[in-house]
Structures are given as C-alpha cells and as structure tokens.
Structure 1
Amino acid sequence: MNIESNPRSAAMPPDLGGPRISLYTEEYAADPYRTHREMLRRFGSLAPVELAPGVPATLVIGYHTALRILNDPDRFSSDPRVWEQTVPADCPIRPMMEWYPNPLHSGGSDHTRYRSATAEALGRVDLHRLHDTVEQLATPLINSFCADGHCDVVGQYALPLVFATLNAILGCTADIGRRAATGMAAVFDTVEAADGNRMILGALDELTRMKRAEPTEDVTSRLVAHPAGLDDEEMVCHLALLYAAGIEPPQNLIVNTLLLMLTDERFAGNVLGGSLSTRDALDEVLFTNPPLANYCIRYPRRPILVDDVWLPAHQPVLISMAACNNDPAVRSGNITDNRSHLAFGVGPHACPARPMAMLIVQDAIDQLLDALPEIELAVPREELRWRPGPFHRSLVALPVIFPSSPPIQGIAIR
C-alpha cells in the first residue's frame, strides 16, 4: 500500500470516478457482497460511499490496506470532532460516530487511560462463572418455546440472552438494561437515533450513580473504582460503548452462525453430527458474514495518498470487515481455525473483550443445539430479510422449526 502525506486540504472524500454507493439501503443489506465485488472491480481497495443521505465517506475493501490504516494511529485518528462540525445534529448516523470520552474515540494518553480501565474491568470477569451464567439464562428462554415446535431465534433467544448476559456482567438492573438496549437498537438502525442515544445515556447515568453508591462485584463497579478516576460523563460513555459492543455484535454473530449451520450442507450435515464444531462455524462466519459489516472508523489527520487515491483530512474512512475478510488477495479456500479476520478489529483499538464474546456466543449456540438438535430453518433462505443500515450485518428474524420437546433442566450458578 502506498501512503503519502500532503499539506493540501480537501472538503470531502473523493468521488473515485463514479457516484457514491449507499450503504443504508435495503438493496445493500440484502447482498453487500455483490456490491463489494463491484466496488473492488471499479475502484480497487478504496470505494466512495454514503453512510446516510448527504454523508460521504470512503470504504476500505482491501485487506492489506485496512491492516495498515488500523495500525497507523499517527496518521489515521479515531477522533471525529473536526468531522462532527460538518454534520447536522440530526444526522441519523451521528450517534454511532460522534466523539465520546471512551477508548473507541480517543488516542494518545487518553486512549491509554480509557483502555486500561476497560480492559482491566473486563479482564476480571470469571469466564468459568460466565459459562454457567449463559447456561442459566439460556435454559428458561429455550423452555419458553421448546414445546411450541417453532421460534424466532432473533427475538426469542439471541437478543434476550445477550441482553441478560450483559446486564449480569455489568451488574445492571433489567429496567436500566432494557432502556439502554432499546436505545442502542435505534442507534444501530439509524432510525430515531438521537432519541435512542438520549435513552442510552440517561439509563447509564442512572447505573453509574447506583454503583457509586452501592458497588458490587461487576464490571461497572470496577470501572467506578479504577485508578483512572473516570468521572460521571466518562463512566456513562464507557458503559455506552460496552452496550454497543456487547449486544448487537454478539446477537448478530449467534444468528449469522446458526444461519450458516442450518443452511450450509458442510455444517448442517456435520456440525449437528459432531464432525465439525461450533467454533469452526464461528470462524467461518467471522470471515464471511461478520456481525459488524463496516466500522472501525478512522479520520486522516491531513490529506494523504493511499493506494493512489487522495483521502482528505478529517473525513471518515470505514473499514469493511465483510469486504476485507473476503478480499481475493488474501482469502484462501480453507478458513477453519483461521483467526486472521478483522471482525474484532486490529491494532491499538482492537476489541479487548474477544475471549468473553466468543465464549458467550459459542455457549449460546451450543445450548440451543443441545436442547433442539433437529432444529431447521422454517422458511427458504431467500425469504429472510436483513436489517438495512451502514454498520451491522443483522437479520430481521430467523424463524426455525423443531420437534416439540419437554423443558430442559437448568443449573445453579456456582
């Protein structure tokens, strides 16, 4: 990749020889991979896109280009504050991109301070106990529909399970967590995003005050007590980041992996029979259908030449994990046990919760398949609908059928 700086300024991302491709349409959501292939053919590793009407950006669709950008914080900042000045306050994607005092949107000493607090609070989660927590929470959910012979995996299992697990990790009450989750869904969907953002921040401010008054053994209390000394605003913004990363992506990963296992003969015929593991399916999905299709947003600190394209200063450059993972320049046929995908990011801003997220998702899938081993997709795959939006890769619903089964027995958390 050729990177070269230049003091020239530019007002917006380059057109790169054609109209911008909208990432917020139902057409793109239905088949982003066809769009990525066309982008690669027309533009190479960098493509001109719109994140919302009138909001331009550059999408990175080349794997090696993405790696070098993500590992170069000196030239590609995570701080969007200059860009924010050019975007209307009611822009639907602004809540997903605007600056907050948390590790995702900071650099230098601020990033070190914020990331240390988050990583240490998450690093003290007992993974053995977390396994039991997921199983305990999954059991009543499965029992609520196992006798019916059908369910929607998204609404009846993946979302409530991930939501309840995150609440347990954060020490959050169901009411506060419900408000935060509802607001976060609106932000991801870019529908009434500003209202959703206010709902999130209000709920998490309440959680922060509750844990300052009565700390317990949970991630929120550890953040409150951390030597970084996070103030109330910083606490709320750290918790908002944990909700953004802790609900939507794990939910989508559960659903997208189950979709693969139920529709691909390599998995449908083998995983349930024990030849291939759930982890094999997860590795495949993290490459081919990652839960966040496009994110890891960076802003060039100055105009910069990348792969023979000038990128203007302070304008968003998104990494398409979905496109980069499937870049023909690096993609080989066999990806079993291959962890070189970009689904969790790379570089100084890589997700610190990767082991915990993988445990939750794998346990959630295993619990469902152990209880309902004859589960099948209830409709043809082509009838499934994907939620539109420039960031996530998420089904509206995953309807399944299975033989009616008696309730399963749960466990007590040790």
Structure 2
Amino acid sequence: MYGADFAADPHGIYARMRAAGPITPVELAPGVDAFLVTGYSTALEVLRDTERFAKDPRHWAALTEGRLPADSPVLPMMEFRPNALFTDGEQHARYRGAITDSLSRVDSHALSDYVERSADTLIDSFVEQGEAELLSEYAGIIPLMVFNRLFGAPPEQSSELIRILTIMFDASSAETGQANEDLSRYMADLVDAKRQKPGADVTSWMIAHPSRLADDELMQQIALLMAAGTEPQVNLIGNALRLLLSDDRFAGELSGGSLPVQDALDEVLWADPPLANFGTRFARYDVEMGGVRLRKGDVVLTSYAAANTDPVLTSQGRAGNRAHLAWSVGAHRCPAEGPARVIASVAIERLLDRLPDMQLAVSSDQLTWRPGPFNRALASLPVRFPVLTKPAPEPASMPPAAAVPAQRQPAEPQGDNQWSTSPVPSSSTPPAATSTPKPTASEAKGPRRLWGFLGAWWRGQ
C-alpha cells in the first residue's frame, strides 16, 4: 500500500481486495503487516466494537515485541501518544471531553468570517500572477492561519507557525531538528501565555475545562488537533478543487453561477476521502471476522475509501446521503467535523468567487497522487487564470508569511479573535486528580518525538 501503483489506482486495488473478502492482509510499509477492512458493514462493526478492538497501540503485538523496523515510516502515525486518538476508556473520555467541549464553543459565523478574510489574504498574494500552485500557496497555508487564531496565538505569530511547519514538512530540510524545538517552544509559550491571560480561544477553554489537563497533556491534544487539521484539511480542499475544475458534473455548472461546493465535498468524502485508510484498531484477543482469523495484537485498519465505495452500498444510491465513513464512526469519530467542513467550504467558495475563470494548468490525467498507505493526496494542483488587480492593502498588516514565495507573501488578515462568548460548558467527564500546570516526566523527553509525526502525517508516510 506504499507504492506508486497503489497511489495511481487505489480503487482498482480495493476492488481486488474486496473480491477476496471484507478483510484482507496488507503491507503498510516494508516489514509492517496489517489487515485492511474494505467492506462497509464490517467497517462499522470494527469501528464501533470497543470490546474486541482497542485504539491504544500498546496492544500492537509486532510493536511491543520489537518486530517492527525502528525507522518504519508508519510509526509516527500509529505509535502511542497520550492523546484522544490513541487512548481508550476513561482516559479517552477525559481527553476527548476537553477537545469536543472546547471546539463546540467556536462560533461558526466567526470562523467562516475569518476563513474568508484569510482566503482573501492568500489570493491577493498571487492574483496578479495569473497562475498558482494551490496546494503550497493556498490549501496548505489557510488551515494553519485559521488554527493559529483558533488556538489564540497573536496574529503576528501566524507567519512563525507557518515557517516552522513548512520546514518540518520538508523531509529533506537540514533545519528540521531546530524546527521541532521551535514548535515545542511555540506551543509551550502559548500554553503558558494562556494560563496567565486566558482569552476566547480553544487553548484557554481547554485549560479551563473540568478535565484539568496538565501542560504536557494540553500540548499533546493541541498537537493532535494541528496534525488532524492540516494534512487531511489540505487534501479535502485540494481534492474538492480538482473535482470542481475537472469533472463535468461540477465544472460545467461553474460558469452558470452555481457553485456546488457542498456536493463536491460530499463526493470527495465518499470516493476520495483525504484520510483514505486509517481508523487503526488492535485485536484485544483472538477473534474471527469477515472469514479471517485475527490474532491478539494484530492491527486492523479501515479503508474509508473502499468501504464507502462498497458495491453493496453504492447500489442503493447515495444522493444527498452523508453516511460515509470519512469522519469515522463510534467513540472516535472526528470531533472537528463541523469546523473542518466550514474551513474547506468557505476556502473553496471564496477562491472560486474571486477567480471564476480559473482552470487547471495541466490536464486532469497529468495530476499525480502522493504515495503512502494513509492519505489520498495530490502532489500538486497548478492552475491558471486571467491576471487581476490586487485590491489596495489594508493598514496595520503583519509581516509576510515565510511559507509563500517572496513575490507572493500575504499579510495576516486583521480582526478580533472572539470566536465565542458562550460560558464554559459543563462536562460529563470527571476532573482529573492532578493540578493543571503540573510538569510530568514526558516533558523531560526531547521534543522531536512529540512533534516529528506532524511532518510524517503531512508527507503521507
């Protein structure tokens, strides 16, 4: 599942797998064996079954027994961290409660407004060029700008966050180690600043949450949100734009003034979800499922893309149906589905509104997909459009973002950061016994393992 052939035609390979049954043995990376669920009903069963399957990778036999290559590229996406993605039971409920309660306080109208202003900032940086590479110059930056504000960092720090993560996401950069340290310091400073002066932002709300997360726990949850909110969000925006610009079912309607962005997003989430294969589970004991005997400690992944396109399901029709698995299901369903959809839809709509005559710079069959077992991600998305005049700049803008080429550096959009004024929500999660600022042993470990998985996630490894 890590080669170029799989990236070029995953659905063809899913079909061959499905012919052998709803669960198939696969190789995620050299020396890393797993089972992949390709049937929709079986996927629902696995994802919802917390009795037979665990989320905690410490149940993974090959990992605990030292049978995996130490440098395996899939480990950053699959090894244990104390966050809501890799825990079960009360610990998971505590972490997830802090995340979901805090995200629920984000006002969708304020979020939409900030995404639109961020989009305009980025579009202004290339509108006079007549061309752009939308992944690196638009889709890859806008989620970071928005998350920087959601977390409550000062707007002038947006360019610093983009600079750090741009280096980290470049696997060949010699500065990656320093960028890891810079990001750890960035997050530690953010948490410290919000403890001293809380604001209307997700970081402050998580600090004030009844779960009473310690600083290292806060940083882990923020890291999870950042990882989950960057690469999958970039791919969702990029895959939907590709569809809108290349598929006659969608592109044919653009000139008529109708922008079927929600339909395009739904189509992508069904057929080419940005996180195509994940939902990792680990068998708690020997179990038979889908005609396959799973041993205790075996890892099982769900192919959201394959399950969504299961012929048994698609034969029933799916027009207007959002029962796809792109956000997963059960206790570990993505908690940021609402904000993620707002960010993607507003970013796409604003781009198409500003550049209605935009076209792909190459034919759609020349676009290539990045290899990797987890993500469905384009390598690039070049477009061209008639040259337009950039609007006059607004005053008091921040320094340019380092992630954008020098001739196209955008300024941070201005505006307040009051995402919500609702009171702190109550929670069914009992408070932890520890005090919030308590340092833990995990802080003594180097920052590289804490943050290094962000770059791996971005690269689809």
Q: TM-score, normalised by structure 1?
A: 0.87
Is the CA contact (8 Å cut-off) linking 1:49 and 1:57 kept in structure 2?
yes
Q: 2:43 aligns with which of 55, 66, 91?
A: 66
Q: 1:36 aligns with which of 14, 17, 22?
A: 14
Q: Please tell me whether residue 26 in structure 1 is matched to residue 4 in structure 2.
A: yes
| Structure 2 partner of 1:268 | 251
Q: Cα distance 1:315–1:282, how it changes in 2: closer, same or farther (>3 A)?
A: same
Q: 1:128 aligns with which of 84, 109, 112?
A: 109
Is the CA contact (8 Å cut-off) linking 2:47 and 2:330 kept in structure 1?
yes
Q: 2:143 aligns with which of 150, 162, 165?
A: 162
| Structure 2 partner of 1:51 | 28
Measured after TM superposition, the shift of residue 165 of structure 1 is: 0.9
C-alpha distance in 1, partners of 2:38/2:134?
Answer: 31
Is the CA contact (8 Å cut-off) linking 1:158 and 1:255 kept in structure 2?
yes
C-alpha distance in 1, partners of 2:168/2:28?
Answer: 18
C-alpha distance in 2, partners of 1:318/1:186?
Answer: 27
Query: Partner letter of residue 27 of structure 1?
Result: D
1:14-39 Cα deviation digits (max 9, x unpaired): xxxxxxxxx11122112211111121
| Structure 2 partner of 1:147 | 128
Query: Partner letter of residue 375 of structure 1?
Result: M
Greater shift, 80-89 or 262-271, is seen at: 80-89
Query: Partner letter of residue 380 of structure 2?
Result: A
C-alpha distance in 1, partners of 2:15/2:340?
Answer: 30
Q: Please tell me whether residue 382 in structure 1 is matched to residue 365 in structure 2.
A: yes
Is the CA contact (8 Å cut-off) linking 1:179 and 1:200 kept in structure 2?
no
Q: Cα distance 1:255–1:99, how it changes in 2: closer, same or farther (>3 A)?
A: same
After superposition, residues 332-351 of structure 1 pair within 5 angstroms as 332=315, 334-351=317-334
| Structure 2 partner of 1:294 | 277
| Structure 1 partner of 2:92 | 111
| Structure 2 partner of 1:278 | 261
Q: Cα distance 1:40–1:178, how it changes in 2: closer, same or farther (>3 A)?
A: same
Q: Cα distance 1:101–1:197, how it changes in 2: closer, same or farther (>3 A)?
A: farther
C-alpha distance in 2, partners of 1:313/1:195?
Answer: 40
Measured after TM superposition, the shift of residue 150 of structure 1 is: 0.9
Is the CA contact (8 Å cut-off) linking 1:325 and 1:341 kept in structure 2?
yes
Is the CA contact (8 Å cut-off) linking 1:92 and 1:193 kept in structure 2?
no
Q: Cα distance 1:212–1:259, how it changes in 2: closer, same or farther (>3 A)?
A: same
Aligned length: 389
Measured after TM superposition, the shift of residue 58 of structure 1 is: 0.6
Q: Cα distance 1:336–1:271, how it changes in 2: closer, same or farther (>3 A)?
A: farther
Measured after TM superposition, the shift of residue 212 of structure 1 is: 2.5
1:374-411 Cα deviation digits (max 9, x unpaired): 11111011221211111111111100111112225788
Structure 1 unpaired stretches of 5+: 1-22
C-alpha distance in 2, partners of 1:315/1:198?
Answer: 34
Query: Partner letter of residue 57 of structure 2?
Result: P
1:329-383 Cα deviation digits (max 9, x unpaired): 1014753321011011101100111111101100000000000011111101122
Is the CA contact (8 Å cut-off) linking 1:201 and 1:240 kept in structure 2?
no
Structure 2 unpaired stretches of 5+: 395-412, 417-461
1:198-245 Cα deviation digits (max 9, x unpaired): 776554334333333333221112112211111122111101110111
Is the CA contact (8 Å cut-off) linking 1:284 and 1:335 kept in structure 2?
no
After superposition, residues 233-248 of structure 1 pair within 5 angstroms as 233-248=216-231
C-alpha distance in 2, partners of 1:211/1:241?
Answer: 19
Measured after TM superposition, the shift of residue 277 of structure 1 is: 1.9
Aligned-residue sequence identity (percent) comes to 44
After superposition, residues 218-237 of structure 1 pair within 5 angstroms as 218-237=201-220
1:285-334 Cα deviation digits (max 9, x unpaired): 11011111111100111011001111121221111111111111101475
After superposition, residues 305-384 of structure 1 pair within 5 angstroms as 305-332=288-315, 334-384=317-367
Q: Secondary structure at the match of 1:151?
A: strand
Query: Partner letter of residue 121 of structure 2?
Result: P
Q: 1:204 aligns with which of 178, 187, 194?
A: 187
C-alpha distance in 1, partners of 2:23/2:182?
Answer: 35
Is the CA contact (8 Å cut-off) linking 1:255 and 1:395 kept in structure 2?
yes
Query: Partner letter of residue 138 of structure 1?
Result: A
Is the CA contact (8 Å cut-off) linking 2:141 and 2:162 kept in structure 1?
no
| Structure 2 partner of 1:5 | none
Q: Secondary structure at the match of 1:298?
A: strand
Q: What's the RMSD between the two structures over aligned residues?
A: 2.5
Q: Secondary structure at the match of 1:105?
A: coil
Q: Secondary structure at the match of 1:134?
A: helix
Measured after TM superposition, the shift of residue 66 of structure 1 is: 0.3
Measured after TM superposition, the shift of residue 271 of structure 1 is: 4.0
Is the CA contact (8 Å cut-off) linking 1:183 and 1:200 kept in structure 2?
no
Q: Secondary structure at the match of 2:210?
A: coil
Q: TM-score, normalised by structure 2?
A: 0.79
Q: Cα distance 1:203–1:36, how it changes in 2: closer, same or farther (>3 A)?
A: farther
Q: Secondary structure at the match of 1:58?
A: strand
Is the CA contact (8 Å cut-off) linking 1:271 and 1:278 kept in structure 2?
no
Greater shift, 164-173 or 148-157, is seen at: 164-173
Measured after TM superposition, the shift of residue 260 of structure 1 is: 0.5
Q: Secondary structure at the match of 1:104?
A: coil
C-alpha distance in 2, partners of 1:99/1:374?
Answer: 46
Q: Cα distance 1:213–1:79, how it changes in 2: closer, same or farther (>3 A)?
A: same
| Structure 2 partner of 1:178 | 162
Q: Cα distance 1:340–1:254, how it changes in 2: closer, same or farther (>3 A)?
A: same
Is the CA contact (8 Å cut-off) linking 2:262 and 2:345 kept in structure 1?
yes
